[in-house]
Structure 1
């Protein structure tokens, strides 16, 4: 399958290296607005060709699908262009800027009969599926706390007066979009749509949130998503039930799961990292494209996540340029 990439940052490189391990993944083309950078990226990763004109790349009949890793603000526009040209799309998380764009993208995918997939690695790594198998051990779930706090390498520049892309509302960024989705995706996947959502957090002067806590109210339980780009923590996530508690190290890609029962001996499992995390999403994408399978793409969860990020941002007072425009 001939793949093209949009974006030349580190995450694109990680996807390429992971994808090359998957059967039938072939890096055909790379795109950057900067022609020199596109050429250098092609040479570095061994693509057949490069483009500095996105429309031209998407018209290339040899291209089967694209991986999008541009700033979130451009995800919807670029994914729409790709699908309208008959290309399958795997788009970095978050899928787009808001729930309205998500609906439009899914309608477009159905119209052109192409695959649209959000590249949220958490839902595809084997350790997350193992977590699902361990969930019944806790009995009736009463509380879940998912935590992901990672100090951004770009925050030092922000504190020194330089606002880089990671902290620009014009690009649909901030803690909820960049980090919070890694808590929200598994939470909504495991427990479904909450009855109510309450969010609090710290909004930077640039207009994006630096950190937040989100309380999700469910029937019989509550859940908390705690995330940050301006602090750091190694606190494990927890799923607490009436028979015990599951402790999950690194909820975005579970590295270790420990079950501590109310009565009895604890159990634990650690996961080896034989292949890069992104291998599993790349392999799945290629497989569903080859088989033209349009289900099992976690669209329902992507919709739920975008609806929740809209609610969270509304409560925090975070607005994006994309909220005022239509694709």
Structure 2
């Protein structure tokens, strides 16, 4: 599979670390808005083809599939362009700015007969599979807690008056989109669609959320997801059942987990990574492309991506975050 790259930031470096462990993946091309950045990235990773014209990149016969790691607001248009040119797409989370865009992306993928997969790394890690396989041990689940609060280095710049991409409303950014998705997506995958949603948060001057908390009601349990880019939290995430709880130190990278039973006993769920953190999602995507399986994944199935997009849009609405893409 000849892979083209859109986006030359640190997350793309991590994907290419994973690609080095997959013989069936060849990184063939990179797109950047400037030739200087394209050349720099290509030189660092030994990529032969560079593009500054996105349409030429999407139309290239040298590319079979594309990894998109551009700002959130660009995911939709770039993915659609690539899929209309017959390219499979692995798109960074969040898949799109809103539910409407996400639904249209999957519709076009089906129409063009290509794979579209949302790249949420945590769901493709060994630790998430361990959670799923051991969930029955804690009895009836009564509460899911997804907590991801991390002070952003870009917020330090924001406090000094410099607004970087992470806090730009026009790029469909903010704490929910960047970090909250890590709490909401696994909840949807494990427990399905909640019956109601309530959310609160702190709006910054740019119109994006700096932090927030969302409450999700199910018939017999509840979900609580906290997210922030303006302060840290050192509390773990948890799945709380009647017979015990699964404690997850880092919801974005499920490793080193434990089951703590009511009787005081503890069971380790190491979820140890033996390969780079993005290996699982790239391997799943590659398998889908090679096997012609356009709509199924063991973790990030289309219906999970769409439900997550729907919930995140409702959370934004209640907090008061409106993107230009929503118009």
TM-score by length of 1: 0.97
Shift of 1:264: 5.0
Is the CA contact (8 Å cut-off) linking 1:23 and 1:283 kept in structure 2?
no
**What's the counterpart of residue 237 of structure 1?**
237
Provide, for residues 191-229 of structure 1, a one-character-per-residue CA deviation record: whole Å limited to 9, x for no partner: 110000000010101100011100000011111001111
The answer to whether residue 24 in structure 2 is matched with residue 24 in structure 1 is: yes
Match of 1:128 in 2: 128
Q: Is 1:316 aligned to residue 319 of structure 2?
A: yes
Q: Match of 1:56?
A: 56
Per-residue Cα deviation, 1:98-145 (whole angstroms, up to 9, x for no partner): 000011101100110000000001111111000111111110111111
1:302 aligns with 2:305: yes
Partner of 1:310, secondary structure, is helix
Contact 1:180 1:225 in 2 (8 A): yes
Distance in 2 separating the partners of 1:220 and 1:162: 45
Distance 2:260 2:126 in 1: 21
Name the structure 2 match of 1:78: 78
Give me the whole-angstrom Cα distance separating, in 1, the residues matched to 2:233 and 2:303.
30
Q: Distance in 2 between matches of 1:270 and 1:290?
A: 31
How far apart are the structure 1 equivalents of 2:221 and 2:272?
A: 32
Residue 152 of structure 2: aligned partner: 152
- Listed as ranges, the gaps of 5+ residues in structure 2 are none
State the alpha-carbon separation in 2 of the partners of residues 16 and 253 from structure 1: 18
Number of aligned positions between the proteins:
324
Q: Which runs of 5+ in 1 are unaligned?
A: none
Aligned counterpart, 2:218: 218
Deviation string 1:143-168 (CA, Å, 9 cap, x unpaired) is 11110111111000000111110000
Aligned-partner Cα distance in 2 for 1:165–1:173? 7
Q: Distance in 1 between matches of 2:146 and 2:62?
A: 42
Take 1:267 and 1:276, find their aligned partners in 2: how far apart are those partners?
25
Give me the whole-angstrom Cα distance separating, in 1, the residues matched to 2:253 and 2:82: 29
Q: How does 1:1-327 map to 2 (within 5 A)?
A: 1-297=1-297, 298-324=301-327
What is the TM-score normalised by the length of structure 2? 0.97
Q: Tell me how large the CA RMSD over aligned residues is.
A: 0.9
Distance 2:129 2:163 in 1: 38
* Partner Cα separation in structure 2 for residue 46 and residue 169 of structure 1: 35
> Once superposed, which parts of structure 1, at least 4 consecutive aligned residues long, lie more than 6 Å away?
none
